[in-house]
Structure 1
Amino acid sequence: MSRRTAAVQKDAAPGTGVRGADWVANEIERMIVTGDLLPGQPIRQELMADRLGVSRLPIREGLGQLASQGLVEHRRNAGYAVARLEQSEFDQIYLMRDALEREVLATIPALDADAVADIRDLGDRVAVAADRGDVLEMRLANHEFHFAIFDRSPLGLVVAEVRRLWKLAMPYHAAYLFDAEVRRRVVAEHDEMIQALADHDNGRLIELMNEHRRGGEAGTGMLLRRTGRSST
């Protein structure tokens, strides 16, 4: 048996087909977004292959995909690591989000009662997680809530770029959500957004999202600046 054949067989899981680079990239992305892998943390290909039960080939290819998206970076003579944002990069992410999300929200069509109810259910998930202080579940539900709105826009390519920008910044969002007052504010702002959707008031929705985004940018940016000072 050739080495290549053995690697392919190792990557085959019963009932799931071959666990290739796309699957690996999704799994590592999930680890980054949930904070299982932290900004700046090295990703050892051998250890990740053992953890995911695959050979090193899909690990290497999956990491290459994530590097092209900016979620990981390849360091010469050191291998791959989770990307760490500089303050200037973080500021640019929010600058782009401000411009793109404004255009996306302006094109949201009038939603019927069922669509609004679906989004309200996601808002309730955020609220429940916030009440019990489950920051990870709150972050994941918050992501679903916002993209349940964004994905209603016909600007699919723009929404895809917004999604990429969210992924880059998401690992930094956990710390400021440990503040119970911040969690309550996020939930209250979601409720106002849902009302704007129900009223078909895109202008109000844009205003609310701008304020909502500024709160996240200020809280997370403060953490990033503190971290940057402590590492120098």
Structure 2
Amino acid sequence: MAAKRAITRQSLPDAIVSDLRERILSGDLAEGETIRQEALAEDYDVSRMPVREALKQLDAEGLVQLTNNRGARVTRHSLSEIGEIFDLRSLLETDLFRRAIPQMIQSDFARCEHLLEQMEASYDANDVSRWGALNYQYHSALYAAANRSLTNELLHRVSLQSDRYIRMHLSVMQQREPARKEHRELLRLARDGQVEQACALLSAHIGRTKDQLLALVAAKRASEEAVGR
């Protein structure tokens, strides 16, 4: 019998949400895959009630779609929707960055620098999961001084949708140095107060990721369809 998945006993739904979210973002649970409450309850060695609550939260986050009262399906976005996710990121992030740069102080720059160092270590260690989490934290740190809580809430939801595609991109990307350099340059431009140049680079950074990802996902799906015929 397969080993049960160990989870923290405090707040079972939250613990299950965290684990399922990571399984979705890492690709362990693939887009379109059916998730059944009974199987998850057995997998986590819990009743179906905390599993049901966890699936409701993931449905609210847009990572799964409830199919009936017994399960869900991992959300599968169309290519158009994936493009829209990154377009939204660009709109929200450039607005936040433009507002944040004039307000950034030394502690903001120090926080960004610290996260950059951790990101670069994760690059070198080929730790895609850690890089994905640090990438979100770094971008959030760049915009924190904007102090726009509602925009950040919207961005958090959009970023959850984009994270699994970013991880997919990083896992196959042979040349990661451009992304590393762009992250460093974003911080340099912010330090120098070059608002428009920083926002232009950020927009290009997100746009390049979007274009490469759309090509990657389109090729992956075409290959899967060919195998399925």
Q: What interval of TM-score do these two structures reach, taking the shorter chain for normalisation? A: 0.7 to 0.9
- State the Cα distance separating 1:231 from its structure 2 match: 4.1
User: What's the CA shift for 1:77?
Assistant: 9.1
The runs of at least 4 consecutive aligned structure 1 residues that moved more than 6 Å come to none
Aligned counterpart, 2:190: 197
The 3 A distance-change label for structure 1 pair 12 and 173 is: closer
1:50 alignment counterpart: 42
Match among 149, 169, 178 for residue 176 of structure 1: 169
List gaps (5 residues or longer) in structure 1.
Answer: 1-10
Is residue 25–residue 167 contact of structure 2 (8 Å, CA) maintained in 1?
no
Match of 1:27 in 2: 19
Q: TM-score, normalised by structure 2?
A: 0.84
Q: Which residue of 2 aligns with 1:104?
A: 96
Q: Does the 8 Å CA contact 2:108/2:142 hold for their aligned counterparts?
A: no
Matched, 1:91 2:79: no
Identity fraction in percent: 25
* Cα distance change of structure 1 residues 230 and 83 upon mapping to structure 2, 3 Å threshold: same
Kindly state the Cα deviation for residue 196 of structure 1 after the two structures are TM-superposed.
1.6
Structure 2 distance, partners of 1:204, 1:58, is 48
Find the aligned partners of 2:42 and 2:198 in 1 and give their Cα distance: 46
1:75-115 alpha-carbon deviations (Å, 9 max, x no partner): 35983121111101111112222222222112114322232
Seen in structure 2, the aligned counterparts of structure 1 residues 113 and 224 have a Cα distance that, compared at 3 Å, is same
Counterpart amino acid of residue 210 in structure 1: S
2:107 corresponds in structure 1 to: 114
Tell me how far 1:175 sits from its aligned partner.
Answer: 3.3
Aligned to 2:157: 164
Paired residue type of 2:98:
A
Deviation, structure 1 residue 58: 1.4
SS across alignment from 1:81:
strand
Query: Partners in 1 of 2:58 and 2:50 — Cα distance?
Result: 12
Greater Cα shift, 45-54 or 56-65: 45-54
1:81 matched to 2:81? The reply is no
**Pick aligned residue for 2:129 from 128, 136, 160:** 136
Deviation at 1:54, TM superposition (A): 2.8
Change (3 A) 1:134 1:106: same
How many pairs are equivalent? 217
Q: What displacement does 1:136 show?
A: 2.2
**What residue ranges of structure 2 are gaps of 5+ in the alignment?**
1-6
Cα–Cα, structure 1 residues 231 and 75, in superposed 2: closer, same or farther, change >3 Å? farther
Q: SS where residue 66 of structure 2 aligns?
A: strand
Match of 1:37 in 2: 29
**1:3 match:** none
| Aligned-pair Cα RMSD in Å | 2.3
1:222 matches 2:205:
no
Is this contact kept in 2: 1:110–1:200, CA < 8 A?
no
1:39–1:171 Cα contact (<8 Å) kept: no
Instruction: Kindly indicate whether the alpha-carbon contact (under 8 Å) linking 1:110 and 1:197 is maintained by their aligned counterparts in 2.
Output: no
Tell me the secondary structure at the aligned position of residue 77 of structure 2.
Answer: coil
Task: Check conservation: 1:111, 1:200, Cα contact below 8 A.
Answer: no
Partner residue, 2:53 = 61
CA deviation after TM superposition for structure 1 residue 194, in Å? 1.0
Kindly indicate whether the alpha-carbon contact (under 8 Å) linking 2:79 and 2:214 is maintained by their aligned counterparts in 1.
yes
* Shift in Å, 1:63: 0.6
Q: 8 Å contact 2:112–2:138 — kept in the other structure?
A: yes
What CA distance in whole angstroms lies between the structure 1 residues aligned with 2:113 and 2:174? 21
The structural deviation recorded for 1:48 is 2.1
Deviates more, 1:44-53 or 1:118-127: 44-53
